Amino acid sequence: MTESRSLAPPETTPEHLTLSWDSCVSRTLVHRRAVAEVLLTDARALPDDRFLLAAQWPRSYATSRTGAGAGAGAGCGSGSASDERHDPMLAAETIRQVGLYICQRFLGAPSTSRPVIRNVGFLLDNDTEPVVGYGATDVLCRAEVFDVRRVDDVPWPVALSVRIQLSAAGREFGSAFGRVRVLSEEEYETFRGPNAAADPVPDDVHGRPSPTEVSVPSPGDVMLVRDPAGALLVAPADLRHPRFFDHPSDHVPGMVLLEAARQAACLVGASPGRLSGCHMQALRFTEWNSPVHVECEPAEDGWAFQVTQNGDTTASGTLSFAT
């Protein structure tokens, strides 16, 4: 993820601005319906477009194991029974919630606005990632907002980028990046048009991989099907999945596309390892009303993936795995 860079070292951050991990932030500010799916618990604004945010990574999310292979929700293959780690996709969900929250809580975007994630990515250090304990892991996010775009007569930014450094128990273990486009209700409706009312395409004629093949804990976590020709299509098994479909969506969510790409790498790559980083760019909305293809192939530093619909690319990016 080339956009990431280190923020100010921890000792220069005013740590006296104490954060709380006791309760979650407003679920509406991170576009979640269930309180259980809200990761952020508190936030403070600092000078120079910087922020401190508290997050909790729940133990209940699918965890993975370090070692020779990877476990559920993180890569492909099997690892040792010790040193369980959180699902790396929590880093992507954290930056998603951070971007949405900062826009509305600190930068003035109204509750009626429709923030849309355009880019998302993360990079984790497998040597310093927190081990899953008996409860949730408290994560400190040091955030910086940059590349802010404003237009006349709109009091809030219409686009911005956010990068965060992730640490737990005083140890920095990763970074994440995202770009948000803030649309008004009217703009969003114009962009969506009649596609917003489309229903998901049935997939009952296709073959669905087993959970083991894509390294997930249950059949409901599988995001792919194979068409009769063997091509991979994005078609979630459970459209009420608590993580990926906390609320109805009028398009295929970006987090679903990212997870589908990871699962495609498992099927194509013959156990590429444990996911350690990714970067996805959404070029347009991915709709429900026609088949969504995902292709994944080896790249110089990992795997490259492309999501297409009706012959057009809707999203693309890269995945990296730790062996």
Q: Judging by DSSP bridges, how do beta strands 224-226 and 137-149 pair with one another?
A: unpaired
Share of the chain above pLDDT 70, in %: 85
How much is the pLDDT for 80?
44
- The mean pLDDT of 291-320, rounded to a whole number, is 94
Q: How confident is the model at residue 82 (pLDDT cuts 50, 70, 90)?
A: low
Cα separation, 199 vs 164, in Å, equals 35
How much is the pLDDT for 178?
97
Burial (CB count within 10 angstroms: exposed 0-12, middle 13-18, buried 19+), residue 122: buried
Tell me the HSE value of 277 on the side-chain side, using a 13 A CA sphere: 20
SS (H, E, C) 75-96: ECCCCCCCCEEECCHHHHHHHH
Cα separation, 88 vs 262, in Å, equals 11
Check whether 35 has a pLDDT greater than 70: yes
Which strand (E) or helix (H) includes residue 180?
strand 171-183
DSSP state of 131: B
- The mean pLDDT of 68-88, rounded to a whole number, is 59
Q: Are 85 and 124 in contact (CB under 8 A)?
A: no
Q: Find the Cα–Cα–Cα–Cα dihedral 167, 169, 170, 176, rounded to 10°.
A: 0
DSSP-derived 3-state class of residue 287:
coil
pTM of the model: 0.88
How much is the pLDDT for 202?
58
What's the gap between Cα 124 and its chain centre? 13
Q: Tens digit of pLDDT for each residue in 98-128?
A: 999 999 999 999 988 999 999 999 999 989 9
Handedness of CA 151, 157, 158, 160 (dihedral sign): positive
Q: How confident is the model at residue 203 (pLDDT cuts 50, 70, 90)?
A: low
Q: Tens digit of pLDDT for each residue in 257-274?
A: 999 999 999 998 766 778
